[in-house]
């Protein structure tokens, strides 16, 4: 349950609300208690002054017998426990309860006459909490005729006021305040929960259900929300994202359909090319043999022999074209072994140098040495290298230049590759041509078939490698990356230098 964000927010807010209300209630209950006690003290003090005035008047006019009557009358108040006049030695002179007259008062319980405050609160075993207040009766001039002038305080007027009613008021007030606080807390908690559930959880649930539909592939869904708040802006952005995803999927589906159509056309072309090449290859072999016999029977200075030689060259070119078509239509699977790529490069470069276009090209080799063997079909990779070398020679045939072959290591997704770079200093390949150089039958050469680089790409990818090209006005670099043999395979590494 607590995995839900809304639940955690509701619990946190209710916890904070309860804490705040509890603190507020605690301080307010204590304040109400202080107010009620202060009210009781003020009432007791008022009563004390009233009793003092009455006693002073009666004592002044010589009617001492009325003092006990006044105290008894005052003592009838429900909250008053006793009203006593005590001499400085602690003996009760007058009391609201005649039985207390002459008794000793325990001044140790609350010696208020010696304290700064004139009241205290203490617990009584019978009456509970008692507010006791004492007021000294000073020896005024009018009193000195009877009491002399030696003592400054002739007696103490002491009132014991019961706080039972006050405690009841405090309890009732606290109970009402606590119940109202709990009611307010419960009400606010319910309202906060409802607001969060309606304004937050409901839109979020809509988003979750909509995202579930999107995960299932339905990108035509939208969330309806009329609010202009943060969630509303989030939903607007979400709907916009879904629309863009739908548009992107439509474009991808269209592109995928076009790619499938293109792949289907290429497959049909490949099959057709392989069929045509197969049908042409055998007659070409017969034509080549017949023309060769006729040419051999003619004198070398015969003009017809020269013509027949050109015919044979064209037949050879057609034969090579048919071989490329056969391979493009149905390439043979590589027979891979672990071989040293630098040895293949050395042999291929020596063979390519014999070509007439390589006679005036400066060749440079920067072989790293100590490279791990690659897991390839030696003949097929040699065909790739030869094609790239001859293309580099042809790009520099008119201007001359430098051919640089460099080897190194490369890594992709924790897989080790051997990298071979073929760099030429030719005029480069224009961008509009560069993006189509691996397209089947695309060529800028007068006598090319447009299958050379296509076959190179297919062969390299059959070996789980990759081929790429970058070109500018300073030259072109073809990069071939071939996977190395896996370490620990003795059956492969034993053939590394075979």
pLDDT value at 498 more than 60: no
Number of domains in the chain: 2
CA dist., res. 76 & res. 82, Å (int): 9
Mean pLDDT along residues 108-119: 52
**Of 138, 170, 202, which marks where a domain is finished?**
170
**Of 149, 170, 191, which marks where a domain is finished?**
170
What per-residue confidence (pLDDT) applies to 340? 92
Name the region of 411 (left: φ>0; alpha: ψ -120 to 50; beta: rest): beta
> Any idea which of 58-62, 70-74, 246-250, 429-433 has the lowest mean pLDDT?
58-62
| 431, HSE (Cβ side, Cα atoms, 13 Å) | 0
pLDDT value at 32 more than 50: yes
Any idea what the Cα angle at residue 258 is, between residues 252 and 259, rounded to 5°? 85
Pairing of strands 401-412, 361-366: parallel
| 69, HSE (Cβ side, Cα atoms, 13 Å) | 7
- CATH number of residue 447's parent domain: 3.30.565.10
Name the region of 450 (left: φ>0; alpha: ψ -120 to 50; beta: rest): left
Mean pLDDT along residues 5-24: 83
Question: Among the ranges 111-125, 189-203, 333-347, 482-496, which has the highest mean pLDDT value?
Answer: 333-347
Mean pLDDT along residues 378-384: 87
SS3 86: strand
Name the region of 62 (left: φ>0; alpha: ψ -120 to 50; beta: rest): left
Mean pLDDT along residues 387-405: 86
Mean pLDDT along residues 212-226: 80
What per-residue confidence (pLDDT) applies to 250? 86
CA dist., res. 386 & res. 405, Å (int): 12
- How are strands ordered across the β-sheet holding 128-138? 92-95, 80-86, 153-162, 128-138, 119-124
Q: Which residues pair with 416 in a beta bridge?
A: 411
CA dist., res. 225 & res. 236, Å (int): 9
Asked whether residue 498 is domain-assigned, the answer is: no
> Any idea which of 56-65, 77-86, 106-115, 328-337 has the lowest mean pLDDT?
106-115
What per-residue confidence (pLDDT) applies to 480? 95
CA dist., res. 495 & res. 485, Å (int): 11
Q: Which residues pair with 469 in a beta bridge?
A: 478
What per-residue confidence (pLDDT) applies to 404? 92
Backbone angles phi, psi at 357, to 5 degrees: -75, -15
What per-residue confidence (pLDDT) applies to 330? 59
Asked whether residue 143 is domain-assigned, the answer is: yes
Mean pLDDT along residues 113-128: 66
Please indicate whether residue 310 or residue 420 has the higher confidence score (pLDDT): 420
For the chain, give the mean pLDDT: 78
> Any idea which of 177-186, 262-271, 383-392 has the lowest mean pLDDT?
262-271
Asked whether residue 296 is domain-assigned, the answer is: no
Asked whether residue 195 is domain-assigned, the answer is: no
Residues 6+ apart with CB under 8 A from 247: none
Can you give the three-state secondary structure of 2-66, one letter per residue?
Answer: CCCHHHHHHHHHHHHHHHHHHHHHHHHHHHHHHHHHHHHHHHHHHHHHHHHHHHHHHHHCCCCHH
Mean pLDDT along residues 93-117: 63
pLDDT value at 495 more than 50: no
Could you tell me the CA-to-CA distances from 340 to 377, 384, 417, 466 in Å, in that order? Answer: 11, 15, 13, 18
- CATH number of residue 155's parent domain: 3.30.450.20
Residue indicated by tokens 């439509």? 250
What per-residue confidence (pLDDT) applies to 492? 43
Confidence of residue 490 (pLDDT cuts 50, 70, 90): very low
What per-residue confidence (pLDDT) applies to 223? 81
Please indicate whether residue 124 or residue 355 has the higher confidence score (pLDDT): 124
**Of 170, 198, 216, which marks where a domain is finished?**
170
What per-residue confidence (pLDDT) applies to 117? 57
What per-residue confidence (pLDDT) applies to 75? 67
Asked whether residue 214 is domain-assigned, the answer is: no
Asked whether residue 293 is domain-assigned, the answer is: no
DSSP 112: G
Asked whether residue 302 is domain-assigned, the answer is: no
CA dist., res. 386 & res. 401, Å (int): 18
pLDDT value at 77 more than 50: yes
Asked whether residue 74 is domain-assigned, the answer is: yes
Confidence of residue 497 (pLDDT cuts 50, 70, 90): very low
Is residue 485 within 8 A of residue 377, CB to CB? The reply is: no
pLDDT value at 433 more than 50: yes
Tell me the residue range of the domain where 350 lies: 337-493
Confidence of residue 447 (pLDDT cuts 50, 70, 90): low
- Specify the length of the chain in residues: 498
Mean pLDDT along residues 469-491: 79
CA dist., res. 306 & res. 300, Å (int): 8
């Amino acid at each position: 349950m607590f995995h839900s964000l809304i639940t955690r927010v509701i619990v946190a807010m209710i916890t904070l609300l309860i804490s705040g209300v509890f603190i507020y209630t605690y301080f307010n209950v204590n304040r109400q208690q202080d107010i009620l006690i202060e009210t009781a003290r003020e009432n007791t003090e008022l009563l004390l002054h009233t009793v003092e005035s009455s006693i002073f008047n009666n004592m002044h006019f010589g009617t001492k017998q009325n003092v006990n009557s006044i105290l008894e009358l005052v003592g009838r108040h429900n909250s008053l426990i006793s009203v006593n006049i005590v001499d400085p030695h602690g003996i009760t002179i007058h009391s609201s309860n005649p039985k207390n007259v002459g008794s000793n008062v325990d001044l140790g319980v609350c010696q208020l006459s010696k304290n700064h405050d004139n009241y205290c609160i203490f617990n009584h075993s019978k009456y509970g909490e008692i507010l006791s207040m004492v007021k000294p009766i000073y020896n005024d001039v009018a009193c000195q005729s009877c009491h002399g002038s030696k003592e400054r305080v002739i007696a103490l007027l002491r009132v014991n006021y019961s706080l039972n009613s006050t405690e009841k008021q405090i309890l009732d007030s606290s109970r009402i305040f606590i119940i109202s606080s709990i009611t307010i807390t419960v009400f606010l908690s319910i309202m906060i929960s409802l607001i969060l559930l309606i304004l937050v959880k409901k839109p979020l649930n809509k988003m979750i259900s909509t995202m579930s539909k999107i995960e299932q592939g339905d990108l035509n869904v939208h969330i309806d929300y009329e609010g202009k708040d943060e969630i509303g802006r989030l939903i607007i952005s979400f709907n916009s994202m879904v629309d863009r995803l739908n548009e992107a999927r439509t474009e991808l589906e269209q592109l995928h359909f076009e790619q499938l159509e293109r792949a289907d056309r290429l497959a049909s072309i490949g099959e057709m090319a392989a069929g045509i090449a197969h049908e042409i290859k055998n007659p070409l072999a017969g034509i080549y043999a017949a023309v060769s016999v006729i040419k051999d029977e003619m004198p070398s200075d015969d003009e017809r022999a020269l013509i027949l030689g050109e015919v044979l060259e064209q037949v050879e070119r057609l034969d090579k074209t048919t071989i490329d078509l056969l391979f493009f239509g149905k390439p043979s699977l590589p027979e891979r072994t672990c071989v040293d790529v630098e040895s293949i490069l050395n042999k291929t470069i020596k063979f390519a140098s014999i070509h007439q276009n390589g006679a005036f090209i400066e060749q440079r080799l920067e072989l790293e040495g100590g490279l791990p063997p690659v897991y390839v079909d030696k003949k097929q990779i040699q065909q790739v290298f030869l094609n790239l070398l001859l293309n580099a020679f042809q790009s520099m045939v008119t201007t001359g230049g430098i051919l640089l072959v460099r080897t190194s290591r490369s890594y992709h997704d924790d897989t080790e590759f051997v990298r071979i770079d073929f760099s030429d200093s030719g005029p480069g390949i224009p961008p509009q041509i560069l993006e189509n150089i691996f397209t089947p039958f695309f060529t800028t050469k007068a006598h090319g078939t447009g299958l050379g680089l296509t076959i190179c790409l297919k062969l390299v990818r059959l070996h789980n490698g990759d081929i790429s090209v970058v070109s500018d006005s300073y030259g072109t670099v073809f990069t071939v990356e071939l996977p190395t043999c896996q370490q620990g395979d003795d059956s492969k590494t034993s053939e590394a230098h075979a």
